[in-house]
């Protein structure tokens, strides 16, 4: 499954209501760590077909990043049934893998 881009706060609200785990990567175009980890995030999206994967550009949606408490990029938040179920900050491949595995069991 590909990683989709969230373009508005309204779209975000619709996306997170899903019953399946919804992983969202908050990233910034100037973030070197984001450029490193986002392709890996995309690879994991293929392995975890029972989850949805999205990304949010914090430069384009700063109000959403602020509302979600995103202070650093990259920040990964998993949602289930409209609620945040977990958060990971940083571009650590092993931690990202464990984070995804933990929330898809």
Tokens, residue 9 = 């706060």
Exactly one of 25, 28, 34, 68 is catalytic; name it. Answer: 34
Distances (CA, A) of 49 to 6, 20, 28, 58, 65: 19, 10, 25, 26, 26
Cis peptide before 74 (omega within 30 of 0): yes
Exactly one of 6, 31, 65, 78 is catalytic; name it. Answer: 31
Is residue 9 annotated as a catalytic residue, yes or no? no
Is residue 31 annotated as a catalytic residue, yes or no? yes
Residues labelled as active-site residues: 31, 34
């Amino acid at each position: 499954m590909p990683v989709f881009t969230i373009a508005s706060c309204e779209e975000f609200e619709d996306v997170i209501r899903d019953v399946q785990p919804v992983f969202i990567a908050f990233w910034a175009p100037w973030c070197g760590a984001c450029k490193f980890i986002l392709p890996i995030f995309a690879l994991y999206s293929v392995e975890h077909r029972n989850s949805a994967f999205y990304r949010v550009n914090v430069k384009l949606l700063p109000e959403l990043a602020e509302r979600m408490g995103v202070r650093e990029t990259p920040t990964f938040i998993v949602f289930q049934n409209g609620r945040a179920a977990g958060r990971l900050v940083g571009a650590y491949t092993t931690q990202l893998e464990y984070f995804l595995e933990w929330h898809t069991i």
